[in-house]
Amino acid sequence: MVFKLFRLAGGRGSFATVKSFSVACIVAVAVGAASPVAVRAQGDAAAPAPAVDPSWLQVDTVTKTATFQLVAGLTGLNGALNFNGFRDGELTLTVPLGWTVVMHVRNHDGMLPHSAEIIPDTHPLPTGPVAPAFPRAFTLRLDQGLISEQTDDIRFIADKGGSYLIFCGVPGHGAAGMWVRFEVSGSVRKPSLAATPAGKP
């Protein structure tokens, strides 16, 4: 007789004990505020990345501020090593040069801690936290990470044009695919968020 413990996504501290003999797969779906999230156990198959939710990005053209909701472990994709359900650069946030960027970071993963920082677009990827590309462009406890449902805010001025990464600094997470792209451009007038092809930095 085998007992397995599953974390129900979208719930805080809710667990279900499932008794199984030779059950091949148990699937449940919990509907969260942003998108459906599948129940995940260690080693489960990766879920497909969600569509880009436009509500993740708020733009204030008067104050030239881009506010981005960055959710670590939003889905079970890549063992929850993802931001907003995207991994390996599959999501790109682009902001105009000189704008203020505010990232509301939340760890939705019920199992692992996560952090976030803006780092230079580099290869090979670092195995842990490095110096951020902009002052204050990182969450607290970069190497330990935020625990489940913990939040932190990142606020900085995107005063250097170029290509960067939003990277999880918990050792091993970023190198395993927990990063998305961040672009600072002098030729765009408004911030944007878009799905992009996966690939190495």
Please count the other Cβ atoms lying within 10 Å of the Cβ belonging to residue 79.
20
Give the percent of the chain with pLDDT over 90. 73
Digit-coded pLDDT (tens) for 12-69 = 444 343 333 333 333 333 333 333 333 333 444 445 657 999 999 999 999 999 999 9
pTM (whole model) above 0.95: no
Determine phi and psi for 54, rounding to 5 degrees: -60, -20
Q: What is the pLDDT of residue 50?
A: 74
**What's the alpha-carbon Rg for the chain, to the nearest Å?**
17
Whether the Cβ atoms of residue 149 and residue 105 lie closer than 8 Å to each other: no
Preceding amide of 201 cis, omega within 30: no
The alpha helices in 15-130, defined as continuous H runs, are none
* 1-5, 110-114, 145-149: range with lowest mean pLDDT: 1-5
Q: Does the N-terminal peptide bond of residue 96 adopt cis geometry, omega within 30 degrees of 0?
A: no
